Amino acid sequence: GAVVSQHPSRVICKSGTSVKIECRSLDFQATTMFWYRQFPKQSLMLMATSNEGSKATYEQGVEKDKFLINHASLTLSTLTVTSAHPEDSSFYICSASDRVYEQYFGPGTRLTVT
């Protein structure tokens, strides 16, 4: 299957700082990338969908000014958590798709805000 990487795999930051997470499709061009969040013992929740070169579409309840998404190329999307707070601590997972029905997941980024 296709390979998707995420960086960093784990990050600890202080409350009030911003954190950038990168998602890269390594061996294919991703027309669409998805960002998910997963809290402990809960399922993955879609945060936003981004298409290369256009603004991301955010799910209801997700603040677009807090979770900035940039999909600058067909192989890279970034999620920036601005002014992070402890309640933002979570497992953030991206996926990339080159077709409507198939998504390839990155290994995830574990964010801890102290």
Closer residue to another protein in complex, CB, 86/101: 101
Which of the ranges 21-29, 65-73, 74-82, 101-109 carries the binding residues for another protein, by CB under 8 A?
101-109
Closer residue to another protein in complex, CB, 11/45: 45
* 51: contact with another protein by CB under 8 A: no
Match 């981004």 to its residue by tokens: 50
Closer residue to another protein in complex, CB, 106/113: 106
Rounded to whole angstroms, the Cα distance separating 92 from 77 reads 13
* 101: contact with another protein by CB under 8 A: yes
* 106: contact with another protein by CB under 8 A: yes
- Comparing CA positions, the residue from 63, 85, 74 lying closest to residue 19 is 85
The single residue among 13, 22, 49, 89 that binds another protein, judged by CB under 8 A, is 49
Q: Which residues contact 26 (CB under 8 A, 6 or more apart)?
A: 2, 3, 4, 5, 75
Rounded to whole angstroms, the Cα distance separating 114 from 100 reads 38
Q: What is the DSSP letter of 53?
A: T
* 28: contact with another protein by CB under 8 A: no
Rounded to whole angstroms, the Cα distance separating 43 from 37 reads 8
* 70: contact with another protein by CB under 8 A: no
Which residues sit at the interface with another protein, rule CB under 8 A? 1, 32, 34, 42-46, 49, 91, 93, 95, 100-101, 103, 105-108, 110
